[in-house]
Copies of this chain bind each other. A is one copy, B any other.
């Protein structure tokens, strides 16, 4: 395993805010982008936090992400909107779109907003949580560069296509946020940075065979040589491959189909991102007393956690529980950052003419080595 450094939330918050303002985003915009990235790291989803900075850096540098672009509503009803992201920063477009879905749902009961021409927007769960923080049910989805090979295929045709669902509950909200692939590309990037072989059943090589070779799969994805990541359920119908592929399609429909945007297989060609998102907000008051519904749900979640464990297991988690525990721990103890990620952050500083040392000290001598993992 490569070295891991630990930094406080405050430090990383300041660093990200400064960096995005240097890129040309406003103070408010930089805080939204930073919030999305930091929530991911706080939740323990380190694949989508600091380690993704390099992709935004490169995206902006190449002009794929346009700093000045503003999302616009191109079609609208009281219950829906289609938004053109105009190739802007995904987090800003996602935040804009989910806010519209929430406002419409608060007024009318529910709403669906679909988005085209955006870019990578971080964790889908952030946007779903925006709704549940206000007592609504929130759904957020996004397509991505094609990385999922459909059942019996050889080429990646769908994205990681996460579906996130947040529902108010006590003592903490239900928050399901998962790619419809077995794992995300971010997880492959982590394995790659750590120099570890992939578990079998995660990825296919360029001929459509199983492989454990992370750099090869990642290279193939970028160069579109074939291969990619398997749908949830693996490579065979016997283990449910067609189901993961089906959930990937579910996501694609609410993102790229309803928005008339680019399906995953057409995104990220040349210098065009073209990512599409989908957002749904639902007011539980459409079904009765929201408090009663929340209590009913909280009872079920507690029953799940209290349920008998398999031999050798000590806990059954409900979705969002691990994230809340990581959140509390990392708020107190700081956020771990892999050395390779820190090197990318140093490169970012060089590019933006920021003083890396001012934030993180001397990389080799001063950084605190952690045994967080």
Contact = CB atoms under 8 A, between A and B. Distances in A.
A243 B178 contact: yes
A309 B165 contact: no
Given A153-B309, A154-B308, A79 B208 contact: no
A315 to B, nearest CB: 7
Contacts of A296: 257, 260
Interface stretch (A86-94, A299-307, A332-340): A299-307
Contacts of A167: 253, 257
A240 interface: yes
A153 B239 contact: no
A253 B137 contact: yes
A286 B239 contact: no
Interface residues of A, number: 84
Nearest to A315: B152
A155 B307 contact: yes
B308 A155 contact: yes
A367 to B, nearest CB: 30
A373 interface: no
Interface stretch (A9-17, A61-69, A244-252): A244-252
A151 B307 CA distance: 11
A279 to B, nearest CB: 13
B152 A310 contact: yes
B307 A249 contact: no
A135 interface: no
B258 A293 contact: yes
B232 A157 contact: no
Identical chains in the assembly = 2
Nearest to A149: B310
Contacts of A288: 75, 82, 260
A306 to B, nearest CB: 10
A58 to B, nearest CB: 28
B109 A77 contact: yes
Nearest to A234: B239
A311 to B, nearest CB: 5
Interface in A195-217: 199, 201, 204, 207-209
A232 B244 contact: yes
B258 A287 contact: yes
A91 to B, nearest CB: 23
Contact of A79 (B110, B199, B239, B250): B110
Nearest to A303: B265
27 contacts: A77-B109, A79-B79, A79-B286, A80-B287, A151-B317, A152-B313, A152-B317, A153-B304, A154-B307, A154-B310, A155-B307, A163-B250, A174-B249, A180-B243, A182-B239, A183-B240, A207-B310, A207-B311, A208-B310, A209-B310, A232-B233, A235-B310, A240-B244, A252-B300, A253-B297, A260-B288, A263-B300
Interface of A: 75, 77-80, 82, 108-110, 112, 114, 137, 149-155, 157, 163, 165, 167, 174, 176, 178, 180, 182-183, 199, 201, 204, 207-209, 226, 232-235, 238-240, 242-247, 249-250, 252-253, 256-260, 263, 265, 282, 284, 286-288, 292-293, 296-297, 300, 303-304, 307-313, 315-319
In order of increasing CB-CB distance, the 6 nearest A-B pairs are A208-B310, A80-B286, A176-B246, A152-B313, A154-B308, A258-B287
